[in-house]
Structure formats: C-alpha cells, structure tokens
Structure 1
C-alpha cells in the first residue's frame, strides 16, 4: 500500500451523479457500450444494480453489484453492460492535489499519476453498506447545505479509505509488509534508545537499502522520520503530564542534544517545547 501517496492526497469533489437506465440512451436510442478514447475526468463509481464490464486500454474487468471502480486519466475506457442487466451506478467526479506539509510550510503538487495506487476495480466487502454511504454523499451533494462541499470531501475520503483498507487487508499476507509492521512496533517500544537503519533492517530481515524503500512505501515516511514522529509524540505527552525539564524530556525520548530536540520540536509543533507546555 502506497501510504506516502495517501498521506498527501487532498481531493475535491466536483459533482455526484446517479447513473440510472437513462445513462445508456443517446438521442433517444439505447446503447450498450460507451467509449472514451482518452478519459479526461477522474471518476469514482459504485455499481448498485446490473452487471457489465470495464475495459481500460483493452484490459477487461467484470462489474457487478458492489463493484467499486474508477477511470484512470488519459486512458482508453469502455463501459458496457449485458442486455438483461443494465448497469446502474453512483459516480463521483473529483480531482485532487498532493499536499506536503513539514509543520511550517505547505507545498501543493500536481499529481503525476494517471491512476490511484489502488486496483481499478475492487469488490466491496459489504455492498449494501457502501451503497448507503454513496447514497448519503449523493443526497448531501444534491441538497447543497451551506457546508456541503467540506462534508462531501470528508465522505469521499472515507469511501476511498475503505477501498484502500480492503486492498491492504487482501495483501496483508505479504511477508515484507509484515516485516516492516514488526519493525514499526519495535520502534514504538524502543524509541528512547539509539536506533540505526542497519539494526532496524536486520530486525526486518531485509537489506538496508531495500528496507528503506519498503519502509517508506508502507509507513508513508522514512525510518528516520517515523522515529522522530514517535519521539516527538511521546515528548508532547511528557511536557503536558510531567514536571520534567525540557532537557530531561529530550533525553527521555531519545534526543541526546536538548538544543537539537528543541529545534526539531519547534519545526514539528510550530512552537518551542516551553511554549507548548503552556499552551
């Protein structure tokens, strides 16, 4: 699972549709296949009735009730259905940017990927529940309440995250990912100790270079960044719940240099440790 992507994923819902049987008519004439020579919109969809197929650059994917699918950008897309079971589906037209925030500054990046780091088609584990959430998103969008765009973005993020969760669960048997998860657990309990990449790679039974690559892919950040996050989270707890000095807190969570700790903490929290304690 590409957590580095989703940690930066910032979508905007543009429109929400319910595509019923009328979608398959053009100028009053029925059609069984719709073709996009080069898809120009990002769409996220759920089949609520019928059966058919999605073709992306000639690769066919069957669709049925509960199928969650999307259109990769600038690909040749064909959507079709069987005569007996016309497809009906919800469709979310969206776009997104990649947002990077280091605690003091924000960078907005245009996505370079045509596809999400997810399968083009995923079968929902609970089709009825997923359809209910899509229906709520559709009703919210049609209702146009004062905060509907913000609420729609939250609901859409939850839907995407559910697909992400399903994909992750179905790939949890991957030995490398489980090794990285084991290493992350080790960091959580040994954060106060010196932690070197080579030691962590040995725990995961991976080469140091491959460990770094896979750690970032699984955790969404480098091993050093993850260690720092764990240490700073513990430091925040100690600053608010103990009478330890800032220097004592720094050493307690694994920083040997209190001045360096204060600089890193301020960059992460937006204020020095002493101010954080008073906030």
Structure 2
C-alpha cells in the first residue's frame, strides 16, 4: 500500500461484527452479495471456508486477513457445518482527501486497497487481539467511538502494509505490476486490450507477463478480460433492456454473435435466457 494513497485515505467505519456458528446456521453456510455497496475486511480466528470476489476464489482459514475493495463487486462466502468459518468483519467505506490550495477535496476512489485480497498473518494471537479490541470498541459505543474506530482501522492497515514491506522487492514489484494490469482491465475493458499491449503497459516481456498474470490471478490474461466483460454483461442484462447486440458492443465485442457464443459457453445460458431468468 503506497504512502501517497495512505496520506489521502479517509475511512468511515460502518459496522464491526462477529460471524459465528449461529450466523452460518441461519444462512445455510453460504452468503452471497451480488453487488457490494461498501468495503469489507476481516480476520478469521477459527474454521475454514472460501471467499469469492467476482468469481476469483480464495481459501480462508485461521490466521487469514481478507479485504474486499472497492465496492461494486460480487462477494460470496461459503463454509461447512463441520468446521464453520468464524471471523470478525469490519464494514467500511473510504474517500481520498487532498488539498487544492486552501480547499479540501474529497474524491470517491474506485481503486482497491494496495494489499492482496487474502493474507496469512504470522502473529495470529496479536492479530486476533487487535480485531477483538476494535470489535469491543465498536460495541461499547463510548465517547468518540467513531473516530477512535477509524484511527484503529488506519493503524491496522499500516501494520499490514509493514508486513508487505518485508517481502522480497522482486515479489512486491511483480504483485504491483499485475495489480496495475487488473485495475487497467477493469477501467478500460471496453477497449481492444491485447496481451502484448498490457505487457508493455506493465514494462514486462509478453512471456513473463503471462506467467505472472496466471500466477497471481489464476487466469490467463484473455480469460480474465473475458471474465470482467461478462460480469459487466450480466449486470446490464439484469438491470436494463438494451438489445444484446448493443450490450456486446458496450463491453468491447464488435461481433454480437461471438459475444453470445462466449456468454453461453461461460455462463451456461444464452444472454436472452439469462435476462429472462
């Protein structure tokens, strides 16, 4: 997480809560949010489960920190009744603040926190203690609890950023390059983004870019681009009435027939059937 980002980072804690066995029993051991409206981070203190962010899957177990940001993604948690996922969750939002002369400007950020979505923490006891302190602070609702919770959250993120700094420089650079590529795809998916151009954007050779992209995302670059476009198509099909051909062009496919074949292959339904369903 770069220091320029943290200098401007201003979070607002919305809720701090614990997800226990009763929670999972009430939700049949699966929670899905089709489109998140806030950021989510947490610490797993027991059990095992899975976190999916826009169909990217991550394993969660004791000692894992996770975060989901920015808002506007599909989020899904799953676990098993035999060993349910127990964690403390922090729901928050944030804006980026900066001074322009004597005026303070607030900007909505569409950028994810500069951390991997899942981290396995070495100091398990210390991490759990800190998250429980934040939970208690929020539950007590004492004087100034909102700004104290905000400061607590910033300190937690600062410590996690310090853990990242202990990684080898080459690994950090590789992660950062792929993170930039993923952000670029999400922002420019309508454009004809080929692999060679993205490798050049990241200042990497095509072969090394392809290797790193697969390593850090689990997808080839082309698969990932299709996935981002199809997620956008699903949203447009669910929430609007535009013709399929118009949606195809809007997400970067000039050939509506190719788009329909790709959508049917990846989703299991044609675009028209998906809209009806």
Bin for the TM-score computed over the shorter chain: 0.5 to 0.7
CA distance change for structure 1 residues 147 and 3 in 2, over 3 Å: closer, same or farther?
same
1:144-195 deviation digits (Å, cap 9, x = unpaired): 1111112111111111112222222224346979xxxxxxxxxxxxxxxxxx
- Distance in 2 (CA, whole Å) between partners of 1:142 and 1:19 is 14
Q: Is 1:83 equivalent to 2:81 in the alignment?
A: yes
**CA RMSD of superposed structures (Å):** 2.2
- Structure 2 counterpart SS, 1:75: coil
Higher relative contact order (CA 8 A, sep 6+): 1
* Equivalent residue, structure 1, for 2:163: 166
* Equivalent residue, structure 2, for 1:141: 138
Task: Please list, as runs of the form range in 1=range in 2, the aligned pairs for 1:109-148 lying within 5 A after superposition.
Answer: 109-113=107-111, 115-148=112-145
Please identify, of 97-106 and 46-55, the stretch whose mean Cα deviation from structure 2 is larger. Answer: 97-106
CA positional deviation for 1:37: 1.4
1:106-153 deviation digits (Å, cap 9, x = unpaired): 22111122x212111111121110110111111111111111112111
Tell me the matched-pair count: 174
- Structure 2 counterpart SS, 1:7: helix
Runs of 4+ more than 6 Å apart: none
Preserved contact between residue 51 and residue 81 of structure 1 (Cα < 8 Å): yes
1:37 to 27, 34, 37: 34
Q: Is 1:63 equivalent to 2:60 in the alignment?
A: yes
- Structure 1 counterpart SS, 2:169: coil
CA distance change for structure 1 residues 176 and 156 in 2, over 3 Å: closer, same or farther?
closer
Task: Please list, as runs of the form range in 1=range in 2, the aligned pairs for 1:1-279 lying within 5 A after superposition.
Answer: 1-26=1-26, 31-72=28-69, 73-101=71-99, 104-113=102-111, 115-173=112-170
- Distance in 2 (CA, whole Å) between partners of 1:118 and 1:81 is 24
- Distance in 2 (CA, whole Å) between partners of 1:58 and 1:90 is 23
1:26-51 deviation digits (Å, cap 9, x = unpaired): 3xxx5122111112221111101101
- Distance in 1 (CA, whole Å) between partners of 2:104 and 2:37 is 28
Q: Could you list the runs of 5+ residues in structure 2 that have no partner in the other structure?
A: 175-202, 204-277
1:53-106 deviation digits (Å, cap 9, x = unpaired): 111122111101111112232212111113321011101111111011367432
Q: Could you list the runs of 5+ residues in structure 1 that have no partner in the other structure?
A: 178-209, 211-279
When normalised by structure 2's length, the TM-score is 0.58
Preserved contact between residue 39 and residue 71 of structure 1 (Cα < 8 Å): no
